[in-house]
Amino acid sequence: MPKVKRFVKTTANKPKLLKTTDNRINPNIRELKKKKVASKNDNPQVRELPRKSAALFLQYNEHLGPPYHVILDTNFINFSIKNKLDIVKSMTDCLYAKCVPYITDCVLGELEKMGTKFKLALRLIINVDVFAYL
């Protein structure tokens, strides 16, 4: 007959209990913490900031205007293939400006790992010279 394995009690197997002196059990300390949180939320500070001129729109950062630099991910590429959209043409139609599509190395690696299911997307990205690589 096989021997019965004994269950060894270790610290990992024992149930973890709180001590009676633990602060989390004491109801007085809990109430004090709740009062502190409530008092912070009762009186929010109101800050008034000076208004900026509307004439400065798009002038503080010149990179916000066209040509737009767009980073493409695998979802965007697969969506454009499923809906039979030309990526560059549909981007320019959407943003009404010139777009420079960028593709990162991780997107190429992800499409290569996905195998035959996304082979068309990989072939489209590699063969077209419009895309810039990061």
Would the CA dihedral through 89, 95, 100, 105 be positive or negative? negative
Distance CA(99)–CA(97), nearest Å, equals 6
Higher pLDDT, 86 or 18: 86
pLDDT of residue 9: 62
Residue 128: is its pLDDT beyond 80?
no
Residue 1 pLDDT: 58
Q: What is the sign, positive or negative, of the torsion defined by CA atoms of 87, 92, 95, 101?
A: positive
Can you tell me the distance from the alpha carbon of 91 to that of 43, in angstroms, rounded to the nearest whole number?
47
**Domain-by-domain residue ranges, the chain?**
62-133
Per-residue pLDDT, averaged over 41-45, amounts to: 66
CB 68 within 8 A of CB 97: yes
CATH level 3 topology of 62-133: Rossmann fold (3.40.50)
